[in-house]
């Protein structure tokens, strides 16, 4: 292998590992260790961009990968000007022995001219790492804009910089410290805004808040402010969705303690940014607080559901560490949490099983220590008997399944590439609770 190729592979691998180690973790998200140990593979186009980067700044570079957001690559392709075709935005740092004037990450823009990528210019960012990059467009602004969040090692607060790209140059405009940020059309006016959130941990002396920032009168300005939950010190899961019935909303799961989370919902109403969960007139943050579960669109209707857990039937008097829990998924409707669905969440095996409506308040769950099965059964006062079993779910490594085969009475339901999920259904004495294998497949969600 050529020295140049070795350097390139090493830089990519180190960048990928850095992105994984610095990125936040969310309960229920599972990392493919084998995938981490394999260096990212570049496409032909990315190889061309990398060679153009080396030509512009030399071969002693390390790529930097954004820690969060949709764009996690060190090479971000996006049309950021009025001309046809994408530009390439590359994040890197110099690893040369010559002392650098700044340790911060560099941002280079490359343009494709006559089939070749060439450097159109670069800037030095406001941090040593890249937290996030997002893109937006506003008709009042007249141009596309780029929002880049930077972070510094061992510092909670990050720095947002908003850029426009003209004539081969990135020009910085609005700047703001933040804990979380999103580019979205939250007021549903067809123009993108910035929602910039600070948590209590970002600045202990300042009240945590969300700022709605939009372009007007020649620049980006704060249009509205909403208060945020003072007990949240980090936002770990941010999703755009709908708030019942037809409002665009931003759902934020915030870490409030060791594995304890709460959800807040930002939306726009009557000219103001509002927090549907934490406000002066309605504060239901306690009702959204739970252990180790993130909110998600559990039924694919565009509305993000908020999980709330309680003991399964029969486990109410068990010690907390021995309880099996039922998780109810709720929509916020007119200020109230309304249950949409019940489920059993198995974080260890990485799945959620949605209860059929007929099972609610009738079926409980236990674990079979001998087989590793999760057993669903009609509850009749005890969680230790094997009577009236309606479903067994078994999780097995794919490699083990290939060697051992499918156990008698079980069928393969789903596979995530590493683990296979098997199910055994029974209707004996439980006709009203019977479920077929197709229903098991549709009700079993693999957590990613």
Give residue limits of the domains in the chain.
1-132, 363-446
pTM score of the predicted model:
0.84
Residue 98 binned pLDDT confidence (cut-offs 50, 70, 90): low
Rounded Cα gap, residues 268 and 73, in angstroms:
31
For residue 99, what pLDDT is reported? Answer: 57
pLDDT tens for 273-289 read 999 988 756 668 788 88
Question: Is the separation of the CB atoms in 232 and 208 below 8 Å?
Answer: yes
Q: Identify the helix (H) or strand (E) that includes residue 5.
A: helix 3-22
pLDDT tens for 230-246 read 889 899 999 999 999 89
57: tokens are 């700044």
For residue 39, what pLDDT is reported? Answer: 47
Q: What is the mean pLDDT of residues 253-281?
A: 90
Q: What is the mean pLDDT of residues 119-137?
A: 93
- CA angle, 210 then 214 then 220, to 5°: 105
CA torsion angle 412 447 33 37 (round to 10): 110
CA torsion angle 12 17 19 22 (round to 10): -150
With a pLDDT cut of 70, the percent of the chain lying above it is 87
391: tokens are 């479903």
For residue 84, what pLDDT is reported? Answer: 84
Nearest to residue 344, comparing CAs of 384, 374, 322? 374
């Amino acid at each position: 292998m050529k020295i140049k190729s070795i350097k390139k592979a090493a830089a990519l691998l180190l960048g990928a590992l850095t992105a994984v180690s610095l990125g936040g973790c969310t309960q229920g998200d599972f990392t493919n260790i084998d995938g981490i140990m394999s260096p990212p593979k570049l496409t032909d186009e990315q190889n061309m961009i990398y060679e153009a980067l080396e030509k512009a700044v030399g071969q002693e570079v390390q790529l930097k990968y954004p820690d969060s957001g949709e764009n996690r690559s060190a090479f971000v392709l996006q049309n950021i000007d009025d001309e046809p075709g994408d530009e390439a935005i590359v994040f890197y740092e110099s690893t040369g022995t010559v002392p650098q004037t700044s340790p911060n990450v560099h941002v280079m823009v490359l343009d494709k001219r006559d089939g070749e990528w060439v450097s159109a210019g670069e800037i030095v960012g406001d941090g040593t790492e890249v937290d996030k990059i997002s893109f937006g467009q506003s008709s009042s602004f007249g141009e596309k804009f780029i929002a880049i969040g930077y972070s510094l090692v061992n510092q909670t607060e990050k720095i947002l910089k908003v850029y426009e790209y003209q004539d081969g140059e990135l020009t910085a405009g609005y700047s703001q410290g933040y804990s979380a940020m999103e580019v979205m059309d939250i007021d549903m006016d067809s123009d993108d805004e910035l929602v910039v959130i600070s948590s209590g941990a970002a600045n202990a002396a300042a009240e945590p808040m969300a700022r709605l920032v939009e372009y007007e009168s020649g620049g980006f300005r704060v249009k509205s402010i909403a208060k945020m939950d003072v007990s949240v010190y980090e936002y770990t899961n941010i999703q755009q969705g709908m708030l019942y019935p037809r409002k665009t909303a931003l759902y934020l799961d915030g870490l409030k303690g060791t594995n304890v989370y709460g959800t807040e919902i930002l939306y726009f109403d009557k000219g103001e940014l509002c927090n549907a969960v934490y406000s002066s007139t309605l504060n239901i943050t306690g009702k959204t607080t739970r252990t180790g579960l993130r909110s998600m669109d559990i039924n694919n209707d565009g509305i993000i559901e908020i999980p709330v857990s309680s003991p399964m039937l029969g486990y109410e008097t068990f010690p907390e560490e021995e309880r099996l829990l039922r998780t109810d998924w709720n929509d916020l409707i007119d200020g109230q949490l309304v249950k949409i669905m019940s489920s059993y969440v198995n974080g260890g095996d990485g799945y959620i099983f949605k209860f059929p409506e007929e099972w609610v308040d009738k079926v409980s769950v236990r674990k079979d220590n001998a087989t590793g099965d999760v057993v669903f059964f009609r509850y009749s006062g005890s969680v230790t008997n094997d009577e009236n079993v309606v479903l067994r779910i078994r999780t097995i490594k794919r490699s083990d399944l290939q060697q051992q085969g499918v156990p008698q009475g079980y069928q393969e339901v789903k596979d995530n590439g590493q683990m296979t999920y098997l199910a055994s259904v029974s209707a004996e004495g439980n006709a009203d609770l019977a479920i077929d294998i197709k229903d098991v497949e549709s009700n079993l969600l693999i957590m990613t």
